[in-house]
Structure 1
Amino acid sequence: MRVLNLLPNGHVPYLEGDRIQRETFQQVKDREVDDTLIVVEFESTYTAGRRTKPEDICNTNLPVIEVDRGGSVTWHGPGQLVIYPIVRLKEPVDRIKYIRAVEAAVVEAIKETWQLPVEIVEGRAGVWLRHPDRKICAIGLKVAQNTTMHGLALNLYPDFQNAFTGIIPCGIDDAGVTSLQEEGIETTLEEAMYALVKKLETHLQPLLWETTKNNATTHPIGGEN
């Protein structure tokens, strides 16, 4: 599986990252390149998925970008690691199995790397800590023409004085948002990238169409444009 590591590019404008995602989607769909994990840290941006309700955006002056993923409104920005799996699923495509595979990869990575007791909450997307309920990783996915888009956003150390303000994150008004730092864990984007990439490769492999180019994994060492 190819890893397209954009972290050396710094804080990437959301629309630039989205352009790269959509170009990669076309290439993977057409089997021009191998299944790809795009790794990126965005500039501060609000995006609204297909299930966003008007009341989820409290500050109507916020610039919000509408996107075609599932879920409601959320924030992306510094201190948050975003990974987009752009992969071609074998037939018959099982969207639920794909979602569960991504969730399982994130849960295992967090538990094994940082020993946090995260879990999946039935009826709520993402990865959570409980009592009180607080989301540490948002997951919003899309499958089109057997190929996936969008992905996960793990909060490492965002500035909560600015991040997620003016919205009801993911449209959930009875739970909070947290980060590894808020839970007492200091880490880096690179450490989190390696932990998540390893688990995503493991959990997604059984669901994938045959490899398009070769069977080797491209390790995320440098950046690509």
Structure 2
Amino acid sequence: MAAWVARAPVAVWHRPGDRVGPPSRRRHGRPETRRRCDTSGALDLAAAAARARPAVDLYDLSDTLTEYSTAWEWQRAILDLRLRHLARDDADDAMLEEANDDDDDDAPLGSRDVVLMVQHPPVVTLGTGSTAANLKFDPDAPDAPFPVHRTERGGEATYHGPGQLVIYPIINLQDGHHRPDLHWYMRSLEDVALATMESLGVARPGRVDGLTGAWANVNASPPGAESHRESHGTPDGTPDGTSAPGDIAGREHKLAAIGVRARRWVTYHGMALNVDPNLQHFRAIVPCGIGNRPVGSVAQMLGGRPGVVSALDDGSLDAAFEGFEGEFIDGTRWPGADDALMRAARTAATDAFERVFRVRLRPRRGAPDVTAVGGDGSGR
């Protein structure tokens, strides 16, 4: 397989209207006087500024597959522990400050914010208010292709599987470094995905008005073409014999899905970025309830292949699952996730998360030890 190398880290993804770039070098219409200065301490100041960023424990288990139910249990248990620490009264503040010491590798789980990074075996999840109508199979049937979990997050049906990088932040939005605002938080997760995609070389990453998530090929569709495709799209992109797969390849593709929840402004659930999954598995659902736009991946975009459009009215169930075991539209089969690309994506995503959220991720070994908390995350 080809070796994938992440590009040099890019700047934090700035929203439209943000003022970026160096400050003006003129004042009152005259150039500022150039002065000599001692820069010997500049690196020390930069290092001190980096240390001032809050430390967040990173459990990166994405080099293997973690059952969805296991990661879900971890999230709820860590959330409970985090809330316990934050609920301590003022008399315990000194103890909490000590537990949050950046140099304390033995700090108890939950005393700092946590980020989990995983891959899942094939699974479908439903948000708290989502409808099972966006499933193309009976989740209770013995031959159901994937297990289905209804969760507390927002959003509709979502697929997780190998080749997808899933990030679950358990962070306190009221700590003074962030904002107690779920809209801001979701846009920030989108920023992480967009910066990661750009670092990996994905063309035209961006947002689509009115739709959550991170997209590629934004504003790439020819004017007037979208309305026809939205009303006639099907899984193979050829509803009337006039739309070739190449037309799909040039459209906006959704590469990252986001669904979150928070308790007392501490977050859980999060973001899933399609790095190199089997895209045909998305044909088992209407992804995020969007049945007229293609789902894609980093590998698919870099390879110039078309993604998958999965709508409810695309014919029989058999037609929806044609080629389901892994055959792409062009007749090739999914060879499995590209390990080198996955490694590059992990590096790019952790770097992007640090820059967008202005934190320092501290890698922790192994899986989070949640044995002190009940399996339901209740602490009982």
TM-score range, shorter chain: 0.7 to 0.9
TM-score (norm 2): 0.53
CA distance in structure 2 between the partners assigned to 1:114 and 1:17 by the alignment: 29
The change in CA–CA distance for 1:13 and 1:217 in structure 2 (over 3 A counts) is closer
Q: Deviations over 1:23-80 (max 9, x none)?
A: 1112222334211110000111011112422321121244311011111001111111
Q: Which has the higher strand share?
A: 1
Kindly indicate whether residue 215 of structure 2 is the aligned counterpart of residue 128 of structure 1. Answer: yes
Residue 18 of structure 1 aligns with which residue?
72
Residue 205 of structure 1 aligns with which residue?
358
CA distance in structure 1 between the partners assigned to 2:187 and 2:116 by the alignment: 19
CA distance in structure 2 between the partners assigned to 1:100 and 1:57 by the alignment: 27
Residues paired across the two proteins, number: 213
Kindly indicate whether residue 342 of structure 2 is the aligned counterpart of residue 189 of structure 1. Answer: yes
Q: Deviations over 1:126-162 (max 9, x none)?
A: 111233232111111112111001111111111223x
Kindly indicate whether residue 149 of structure 2 is the aligned counterpart of residue 65 of structure 1. Answer: yes
TM-score (norm 1): 0.86
| Contact 2:60–2:363 (8 Å) recurs in 1 | no
Structure 1 residue identity aligned to 2:190: E
The change in CA–CA distance for 1:158 and 1:115 in structure 2 (over 3 A counts) is closer
CA distance in structure 1 between the partners assigned to 2:61 and 2:196 by the alignment: 20
Structure 1 residue identity aligned to 2:115: L
The change in CA–CA distance for 1:111 and 1:100 in structure 2 (over 3 A counts) is same
Which runs of structure 1 show a deviation greater than 6 angstroms over 4 or more consecutive aligned residues?
A: none
| Contact 1:38–1:84 (8 Å) recurs in 2 | yes
Stretch moving more, 186-195 or 36-45: 186-195
CA distance in structure 2 between the partners assigned to 1:184 and 1:115 by the alignment: 6
Residue 287 of structure 2 aligns with which residue?
169
CA distance in structure 2 between the partners assigned to 1:82 and 1:180 by the alignment: 14
CA distance in structure 2 between the partners assigned to 1:147 and 1:109 by the alignment: 24
Kindly indicate whether residue 195 of structure 2 is the aligned counterpart of residue 108 of structure 1. Answer: yes
CA distance in structure 1 between the partners assigned to 2:348 and 2:210 by the alignment: 26
* SS of corresponding position for 2:136: coil
Residue 58 of structure 2 aligns with which residue?
3
Structure 2 residue corresponding to 1:137, chosen from 250, 256, 277: 256
Residue 210 of structure 1 aligns with which residue?
none
| Contact 1:2–1:217 (8 Å) recurs in 2 | yes
The change in CA–CA distance for 1:188 and 1:27 in structure 2 (over 3 A counts) is farther
Structure 2 residue identity aligned to 1:97: W
| Contact 1:29–1:146 (8 Å) recurs in 2 | no
CA distance in structure 2 between the partners assigned to 1:160 and 1:103 by the alignment: 20
Residue 276 of structure 2 aligns with which residue?
157
**Residue 115 (structure 1) shift:** 4.3
Structure 2 residue corresponding to 1:148, chosen from 267, 282, 300: 267
Stretch moving more, 71-80 or 106-115: 106-115
Kindly indicate whether residue 302 of structure 2 is the aligned counterpart of residue 218 of structure 1. Answer: no
| Contact 1:47–1:66 (8 Å) recurs in 2 | yes
Structure 2 residue identity aligned to 1:71: G
| Contact 2:350–2:361 (8 Å) recurs in 1 | no
Q: Deviations over 1:190-216 (max 9, x none)?
A: 32122112222222238xxxxxxxxx6
Q: Which runs of 5+ in 2 are unaligned?
A: 1-55, 86-109, 222-250, 304-337, 369-380
Q: Percent identity?
A: 27
Stretch moving more, 15-24 or 179-188: 179-188
Q: Which runs of 5+ in 1 are unaligned?
A: 207-215
| Contact 1:84–1:152 (8 Å) recurs in 2 | yes
CA distance in structure 2 between the partners assigned to 1:139 and 1:52 by the alignment: 14
Q: Deviations over 1:75-102 (max 9, x none)?
A: 1111111001110111771221111111
* SS of corresponding position for 1:6: strand
Higher relative contact order, chain-length normalized (CA < 8 Å, sep 6+): 1
Stretch moving more, 66-75 or 179-188: 179-188
